[in-house]
Copies of this chain bind each other. A is one copy, B any other.
Amino acid sequence: MSDLSGTARLLLGMIHVKGRRTGYDIKRLVEVSTRFFWAASPGQIYPELKRLESEGLLTRSEEPHGGRARNVYTATDEGEQELHGWLTESADPVFEMRNEGLLKLFFADSLNTEEQIEVVRAMRAQQEAILDGIRKATPPYRPDRKFGYIAWLYGLGIHGWTIEWCKQLEADLAEGRVPQGLQESDASQTR
């Protein structure tokens, strides 16, 4: 047991937290909540739900709405245990980041100042778009979903921090100033 994919855990968690859900429900939930730290596409959600059903972690009930098919999933006891086991296990969690803006910045030495500033601005614009998406998805405050709120606050904080960092860097570059933090290393290098 417990060789579930991260996405399987996400589905289990969503169903636990929100109760009985369809694949479509989960897809929308992900879009307004975990999207920025754990994405999942429909091409992944539907097959994975089936797999979890076949493994006995979810049960499916067909509840068509008029002539429209609808599969509502519920967690089994085993599913709940699996979720709890994952939440309390002590394996180091996955952390992966792909930040193309930062990668460009890393290689920006050969550009002229305007181009460099443009790279930072593009990186900031993207972070602003993400922050906007998070802001718009304000979770309603519910005492039983404190941690949904906390994760949301983290999103605001981390992307807000990055935006401020970018602004500072843009200003430094525009004014030909040495970016913060380089002074000390300037001082420590002798030749």
A189 to chain B: closest residue by CB: B141
Q: Are A103 and B157 neighbours in the complex by a CB distance under 8 Å?
A: no
Of the listed stretches A44-52, A53-61, A65-73, A107-115, name the one at the interface; the rest are far from the partner chain.
Answer: A107-115
Contacts of A87 in B (CB 8 A): 104, 107-108, 110-111, 115, 119
The oligomer's copy count stands at: 2
Q: Are B179 and A106 neighbours in the complex by a CB distance under 8 Å?
A: no
Q: How far is the CB of A97 from chain B (nearest CB, A)?
A: 5
Cα(A127)–Cα(B144), bound, Å: 27
Q: Are B126 and A92 neighbours in the complex by a CB distance under 8 Å?
A: yes
Cα(A99)–Cα(B125), bound, Å: 22
Q: How far is the CB of A103 from chain B (nearest CB, A)?
A: 5
Q: Are A98 and B95 neighbours in the complex by a CB distance under 8 Å?
A: yes
Q: Are A98 and B94 neighbours in the complex by a CB distance under 8 Å?
A: yes
Contacts of A37 in B (CB 8 A): 97-99, 102-103
Given A93-B126, A98-B38, A122-B92, A162 and B151 touching (CB < 8 A)? no
Cα(A188)–Cα(B139), bound, Å: 13
Contacts of A34 in B (CB 8 A): 103, 106
